[in-house]
Amino acid sequence: MAETGSISIFLAFVISIYVLIASIYGVKTRKRDFVKSAENGAIGVCFLLIIATIALLHSLVNLDFSLKYVALNTSTDLATTYRFTSLWAGQAGSLLLWSLVLSVYTAIVVLQNRNRDRELMPYVLATLATVSIFFIGLITFIESPFEKLPFTPLEGRGLNPILQNAYMAIHPLTLYFGYVGVTVPFAFGMGALLSGKLGDSWIRYSRKWALFAWTFLSIGLLLGARWAYLELGWGGYWAWDPVENAAFMPWLAATAFIHSVMIQEKKGMLKKWNMSLIIITFFLAIFGTFITRSGIISSVHSFAQSDIGPLFLGFIAFILLFSFGMFLFRVKDLETENRFDSILSRESAFIFNNLLFLGAAFAVFLGTIFPILSEAVTGNKILVGPPYFNRVNVPIALVLIFLMGVGPLISWRKASFKNLVKNFLYPILLGILTVTVLVVMGMTNVVALISFALCAFVTGTVFTEFYRGTSVRMKRGENVFTAFTKLVSRNKRRYGGYIVHIGVVLIVIGVTASSVFVTEKQSTLSPGDTMQLRNYTLRFEGIEQYTTDAKNATLANLTLLENGKVIDTIAPEKNIYKYEGNREINQETEVALRSTYKDDLYIILSSFNGDGSATIRVMINPLVNWIWTGGLILLLGAIVTMWPGARKSREQGFVRYTVRDSDATLNA
Amino acid sequence: MLKGKIKFIVAIVVIALTVSYLVYGGVKDTMVYYLTVEELKAQIPEVYESRVRVSGTVVPGSIIKENNGSLEFQITDGMQTIDVQYEGIIPDIFADDVEAVVEGEYTKNDVFEADTLLAKCPTKYESTDSLYENKEASY
């Protein structure tokens, strides 16, 4: 199987080079056959990488320890599910997965657009092929997943126990779908620049793919946060760790992009901006992969260290120089078709949204590379930690939430005072009401108050929109349910977007509450002792030990009382994995979590002592569940937005002030 | 028209300046020097009572766990050693010989009072050395 795999990736590499050359040659010389052959080549690459992936999976599942990758990432006692997920546990496998996902996306792009946009598509394909060549090249020549060991070990090194978790199994996959997904809108952008077809086509394709990638990035980030929360045992879900930032930066830039493309679609404005934005987004996605995979910045998540760093840097430099070079070459064709009329308009709300998202991305970028930057400039390694990221990003986030409320309701072009009052009076009152209630209840934290008020304001504006739309339909004689579903299904992009906003509001509420109002306590207890935290009491019943095939577990039995009444029993664990020796981590703290929509009780067994006593650390994290629920709603909204169908009515919905669409006529 | 444009430029400049101010202030107030044990020792006495981050290898046998959950250990760069005192969550991989990263203050009685403790794996993650212990006698 290993030979099949290495031959497949080598062929995929060679064919990718062919795809690049044939598509460019075909479009330059107007030889359609070459372009067609390049398209078939791209589909061939996809098949070859599927074969290579199956070959590696086969070796992983059957524990062929003669392969270095298998020996390093699995062991005989590893459950079959995790043998599959070992595919993305190490460097070479991750890069293979990257290449595979890219080739699948490329094949989809080819199949969806055969015989469409004949001037644009070959360049899009060429761009995708270039990125493929880089990644497939890495696994062919430098980090081959099919590298053989000079001997066959009897046992592999096994998978790190903290990676043996359902969230960890799907979180990297989700993130890769997102990271790689960013490549496609970038390729359309580059295709437009290279071909000079800078009309509507590229932005339409890019928008869809960017939204798709954005959805996966969002979900991947949340899954990663949930994994960290459950598994790392420090009580939080986000630490501004370089690897977390690596995924967060392209997310910020992609969020800016999916908002600003709307302005270009509807008004033909911000063309240069959008082009730069998609280049920056792609740069950040590749940079993120680089941070994650090179181990250049030390991190709790960096499970890989290797020497592919310089190659990545070279590739990043090439991308930046080439894309911005092309951008400057075409800059005169990216003139705007409309002007901004007023600062009080939806257009300007979008502009500010974009500047703030980009500002946040820049701040996170700077904070992430600060150790490297400061060492290069001053010779001292200087770090900026979570306080830096919070100080910079919290104010930006608050203004963004405000804009999230303003954007959907403010008029295009120029908002009148009447329009402002009509749309914003009730949401503003709702915000003020929220603050008043919270202050009366005794909340004094200013940031939390502002955040909750803004969340109420946004919720108010979104409900206003749903209420208005539904009641207009109800006046035509539809019942509430039909009116609502038709409202959403007739304009999926708009109302799907609002649903996403509601998801974001829930996430913001959860993040605010759980970062501002944490209660934490640590006590050493003997059996029978109790500890008190807010209205909860924990009674320590004693230590218990048990043994399974894989581990020796020690657990602390605790009884939970709320206001004096027994409500639950809880048992945080500390596990020693039996399979020692080769694994660096053989001890694992298993957090006990009791989660409700009110708060999470997060309990860690810090240590246990010979005399039967145990040190227990307890945290009460309020409203954490709202974050995960918000994530589900965000996903629902994104699915509504992307749901196919009703295309005609949607496209009729565009009203453009000026039409200067040279491609549309050419390609018709 | 021109008036509108000026308003925009002003707004954009305000945003850019605010973000720069936040970044500048954030860096200035939260930056922490990342030192090796040797660099820390070289900076006595200026380093006393300022917040720094230090990395070093945990000296085997130096770890003392108190019943109340606090921890004492020593880290070294091979030449010099410092005493560390720490209270908080102990990472699962913390043990003798791992590379530890501590953040906190170096006090005048030459004890590093840490409030953050990170531990890194002792070997390179993808090292094949350990496999040699399990190799089959097939050659």
Cβ atoms within 10 Å, residue B66: 14
pLDDT score of A628: 96
Check A606 against B7: CB less than 8 A apart: no
pLDDT for the residue A285:
94
Residue A447 has pLDDT above 80, yes or no: yes
- What's the CA dihedral at A287, A292, A293, A296 to 10 degrees? 80
Greater confidence (A143 vs A21) lies with A21
In this structure, are B14 and B81 located in the same domain?
no
Average pLDDT over residues A585-596: 82
Residue A630: inside a domain: no
Chain B residue closest in CA terms to A372: B34
Contact A615 B69 (CB under 8 A): yes
The pair phi, psi for residue B56, each rounded to 5°, is: -175, 170
Average pLDDT, chain A: 87
Q: Which of B11, B121, B126 sits opposite A306 (nearest CB)?
A: B126
Residue A431's pLDDT is 95
Most confident stretch, A284-293, A441-450, B28-37, B116-125: A441-450
Confidence of residue A654 (pLDDT cuts 50, 70, 90): very low
B120 shares contact with chain A (CB less than 8 Å): yes
Are residues B121 and A585, on separate chains, in Cβ contact within 8 Å? yes
B12, B30, B53: residue with CB nearest A387: B30
Q: Do B89 and A606 touch (CB under 8 A)?
A: yes
Which pLDDT does position A295 carry in this prediction? 61
Q: Are residues B38 and B87 in the same domain?
A: yes
Task: Give mean pLDDT, residues A383-388.
Answer: 87
Q: Which of A342, A363, A394 is the last residue of a domain?
A: A394
| Residue of B64, B102, B120, B135 to mutate when probing chain A, most A C-beta within 10 A | B135
Count CB atoms within 10 A of the CB of residue B60.
11
Distance between CA A35 and CA A42 in Å, rounded? 11
User: Which CATH number does the domain housing residue A574 bear?
Assistant: 2.60.98
**Is the pLDDT confidence value at A129 over 90?**
yes
Which of A109, A108, A141, A136 is CA-nearest to residue A123? A109
Residue A475 has pLDDT above 60, yes or no: yes
pLDDT at res. A649 = 44
* pLDDT band at residue A101 under the 50/70/90 scheme: very high
A157–B27 CB contact, under 8 Å: no
b/e burial code for range A620-648 (CB count within 10 A of at least 16 → b): bbbbbbbbbbbbebbbebbebbeeeeeee
Specify if A340 maps to a domain.
no
Are residue A450 and residue A499 in the same domain, yes or no? Answer: yes
What per-residue confidence (pLDDT) applies to B92? 76
Q: Which of B31, B38, B116, B133 to mutate to test the interface with A (most CBs of A within 10 A)?
A: B31
Give whole-number Cα distances, B101 to A94, A172, A240, A261, B56, in Å.
28, 26, 17, 44, 7
Determine contact: A388 vs chain B, CB below 8 A. yes
The structural domain count of chain A equals 4
Q: What is the DSSP string of A452-500?
A: HHHHHHHHHHHHHHHHHHHHHHHHTT--HHHHHHHHHHHTHHHHHHHHH
Considering the domain architecture, whether residues B61 and B10 belong to the same structural domain is answered as no
Please check whether residue B129 touches A, CB under 8 A.
no
pLDDT for residue A166 is more than 90? no
Residue B111 forms contact with A (CB below 8 Å): no
User: Which A positions 557-576 lie with beta carbon below 8 A of chain B?
Assistant: none
Question: What is the per-residue pLDDT for A585?
Answer: 58
Tokens 């590749």 identify what position?
A: A286
A78-89 pLDDT, tens digit per residue, is: 888 889 988 988
Residues with Cβ within 8 Å of A102's Cβ and at least 6 positions away in sequence, in order, are A128, A131, A132, A135, A180, A183
Report the C-alpha gap between A68 and A70 in whole angstroms. Answer: 6
Which residue did the predictor score with more confidence, A578 or B72?
B72
Note whether A363 contacts B19, CB cutoff 8 Å.
yes
Contact A383 B32 (CB under 8 A): yes
Average pLDDT over residues A19-43: 95
B6 and B51 assigned to the same domain: no
Give A636-656 as a DSSP string.
Answer: HHHHHHH----HHHHHHT---
CB-CB contact of A341 with A176 (8 Å): no
The residue among A97, A58, A91 whose CA lies nearest residue A73 is: A91
Q: Do the chains contact at A582 and B131, CB–CB below 8 Å?
A: yes
> Are B23 and B50 in a shared domain?
no
Same domain, A256 and A381: yes
pLDDT digits (tens, 9 = 90+) for A552-567: 889 999 999 988 889 9
**A551 touches B: beta carbon within 8 Å:** no
Q: What is the CA radius of gyration of chain B?
A: 23
The pLDDT of residue B4 is 61
Residue B132 lies in a domain: no
Instruction: Identify the pLDDT of residue A303.
Output: 44
Q: How far is CA B94 from the centre of its chain?
A: 14
Are the beta carbons of B16 and A355 separated by less than 8 Å?
Answer: yes
Compare all CA atoms of chain B with the CA of A155 and give the residue at the minimum distance. B134
A-chain residue closest to B21, CA distance:
A392
Are A512 and A585 members of one domain? no
Q: Is residue B4 part of a domain?
A: yes
For the segment A406-433, the average pLDDT, to the nearest whole number, is 85
Contacts of B68 in chain A (CB under 8 A): 524, 615
Which ipTM was obtained for this model?
0.83
pLDDT at A430 over 80: yes
Give the closest-approach CA distance of B103 to chain A in angstroms.
11
What is the least distance, in Å, from the CA of B101 to any CA of chain A? 11
Of A16, A9, A290, the C-alpha closest to A133 is A16
Residues 281-320 of A with CB under 8 A from B: 295, 298, 300, 303-306
Q: Choosing among A355, A356, A388, which should be mutated to test the B contact, i.e. which has the most B CBs within 10 A?
A: A388
Report the CATH number that the domain containing residue B99 is assigned in CATH.
Answer: 2.40.50.140
Contact between chains at A304 and B125 (C-beta distance less than 8 A): yes
Inside any domain, residue A658? no
Mean pLDDT of A478-483: 88
Q: What is the pLDDT of residues B54-82, one digit of tens each?
A: 888 899 888 888 766 688 999 998 888 99
Evaluate the CA torsion angle A654, A656, A661, A665 in order and state its sign. positive
In a domain? residue B23: yes
Strands B51-58, B31-36: parallel, antiparallel or unpaired by DSSP? parallel
Same domain, A480 and A546: no
Residue B113 falls within a domain, yes or no? yes
Number of domains composing chain B: 2
**pLDDT for B32-49, tens place per residue?**
888 888 888 888 878 888
CA distance A41 to chain B (A): 34
Does residue A283 sit in the same domain as residue A423?
no
Same-domain check for residues A210 and A111? no
Range of the domain at B21: 1-31
- Statement: residue A343 has pLDDT above 80: no
Q: Count of residues for chain A?
A: 668
* Percent of residues, chain A, with pLDDT higher than 70: 93
Answer yes or no: is A345 within a domain: no
Per-residue pLDDT tens over the stretch A606-624: 888 878 888 888 999 999 9
> Best interface-test mutation with B: which of A70, A396, A577, A584 has the largest number of B CBs within 10 A?
A584
Interface test with B, best of A292, A383, A604 (most B CBs within 10 A): A383
Q: Which domain holds residue A50?
A: 1-159
pLDDT at B137: 37
Q: Which residue of B126, B128, B136 is in closest CB contact with A91?
A: B126
Q: A234 at the B interface (CB within 8 A)?
A: yes
Query: What does each C-alpha distance from A245 to A28, A284, A369, A383, A505 come to in angstroms?
Result: 41, 10, 10, 14, 21
User: CA–CA distance from A373 to each of A368, A380, A530, B20 (Å)?
Assistant: 9, 9, 50, 17
Same domain for B23 and B58 = no
Q: In this predicted model, which residue has the larger pLDDT, A304 or A353? A: A353
How far A557 CA lies from chain B's nearest CA (Å)?
18
Q: Please give the residue of chain B at the shortest CA–CA distance from A583.
A: B130
Percent of chain A with pLDDT over 90: 54
Residue B53: list chain A partners with CB under 8 A. Answer: 383
Last residue of a domain, one of A375, A394, A413: A394
Q: For the segment A238-286, what is each residue's pLDDT rounded down to a tens digit?
A: 989 888 899 999 999 999 999 999 888 888 888 889 999 999 999 999 9
Q: How confident is the model at residue A657 (pLDDT cuts 50, 70, 90)?
A: very low
For testing the chain B interface, which of A142, A301, A372, A381 should be mutated: the one with the most B CBs within 10 Å?
Answer: A381
CB contacts under 8 A, B 17-76 vs A, are 18-19, 22-23, 25-27, 29-35, 53, 65, 67-69
pTM: 0.90
Indicate the residue type of A476.
R
Residue B102 CB partners (closer than 8 Å, separation 6+): B53, B54, B55, B75, B84, B86, B112, B114, B116, B117, B118
Q: Which of B5, B65, B131 sits opposite A153 (nearest CB)?
A: B131
Is residue A280 assigned to a domain?
yes
| pLDDT, mean of residues A525-545 | 91
